[in-house]
Amino acid sequence: TQLLEQSPQFLSIQEGENLTVYCNSSSVFSSLQWYRQEPGEGPVLLVTVVTGGEVKKLKRLTFQFGDARKDSSLHITAAQPGDTGLYLCAGADYKLSFGAGTTVTVRA
Amino acid sequence: EAQVTQNPRYLITVTGKKLTVTCSQNMNHEYMSWYRQDPGLGLRQIYYSMNVEVTDKGDVPEGYKVSRKEKRNFPLILESPSPNQTSLYFCASSYSGDTEAFFGQGTRLTVV
């Protein structure tokens, strides 16, 4: 059983559209990290959210941490082909617990 | 350049033939870990190390061994590989267990 559930599992959209990826858990985490993994590479950290209700923006990417620190979302505005990849969330307590990931494909 | 280096990148082996996957980091991190990544299951931690000579089991340790004799190196050992260990393996290092993890490029292992 996955500690962190990500949805959807797959997402395919046209360039210019918006998308949202969700990360949900029944556990409370001290922080939550989002990673992006491209084919043939290891995951790379995008952002860490720490405070319940926190919103962080990274250019066209907006990350939100739920008030109860159990869930998070990643919203991409006007997606581009370069956003294609596997997006992973990871909850942090004494270690990182990863979700299964959402594979995002942005078609030109 | 800060990096985690894994070798080899690809490995095909036969059941029962011992193998070692090496991992080295140049960031002076104390915490290192090994993960396996399987479709639909995400990254699952195999073993971790909080410092030299300190290692502990992660979520899926069966069939694996590790050692941490030096701070920079954390090899993963499969003493008798089986087909269910066919997977994509990642080594990662970090300041501590809950901080940003820096990953290697992965080792794709196939056991036939």
Choose the closest CB to A42 out of B33, B42, B104.
Answer: B104
- Sheet strands (E) in chain A: 4-7, 10-14, 19-25, 31-37, 44-49, 55-58, 61-65, 71-76, 85-92, 96-98, 102-107
The rounded mean pLDDT for chain A is 94
**Quick one: which of A58, A70, A79, A84 has its CA closest to A24?**
A70
Contact of A7 with chain B, judged by CB distance below 8 Å, is answered with no
pLDDT of residue A94: 87
Choose the closest CB to B97 out of A9, A88, A95.
Answer: A95
A42 with B100: Cβ contact below 8 A: no
pLDDT-based confidence at residue A107 (cuts at 50, 70, 90): very high
pLDDT of residue A93: 87
Mean of pLDDT values over A23-35: 93
Contact of A30 with chain B, judged by CB distance below 8 Å, is answered with yes
Beta bridge partners of B111: B13
Per-residue pLDDT at A32 exceeds 60: yes
CA-based nearest residue in chain B for residue A43: B103
Which residues of chain A from 65 to 84 reach within 8 Å of chain B, CB to CB? none
pLDDT of residue B91: 98
Identify residues of B whose CB sits under 8 angstroms from chain A CBs.
4, 33, 35, 40-45, 48, 58, 90, 92, 97-101, 103-106
Per-residue pLDDT at A61 exceeds 90: yes
pLDDT of residue A2: 56
The rounded mean pLDDT for chain B is 97
What percentage of residues in chain B have a pLDDT greater than 90? 95
- Least confident segment among A23-27, A44-48, A103-107: A23-27
A40 with B92: Cβ contact below 8 A: no
Per-residue pLDDT at A68 exceeds 80: yes
pLDDT (tens digit per residue) in B52-67: 999 999 999 999 999 9
Tell me the three-class secondary structure of chain B, residue by residue.
CCCEEEECCEEEECCCCCEEEEEEECCCCCEEEEEEEECCCEEEEEEEEEECCEEEECCCCCCCEECCCCCCECCEEECCCCHHHCEEEEEEEECCCCCCCEECCCEEEEEC
Q: Which residue of A95, A97, A98, A102 is the best one to mutate when testing the B interface, meaning the one whose CB has the most B CBs within 10 A?
A: A95
**Quick one: which of A40, A46, A34, A49 has its CA closest to A88?**
A34
pLDDT of residue A49: 95
Interface contacts (A, B; CB < 8 Å): 56
- Output A2 or A97, whichever has higher pLDDT: A97
pLDDT-based confidence at residue B40 (cuts at 50, 70, 90): confident
Beta bridge partners of A90: A33, A98
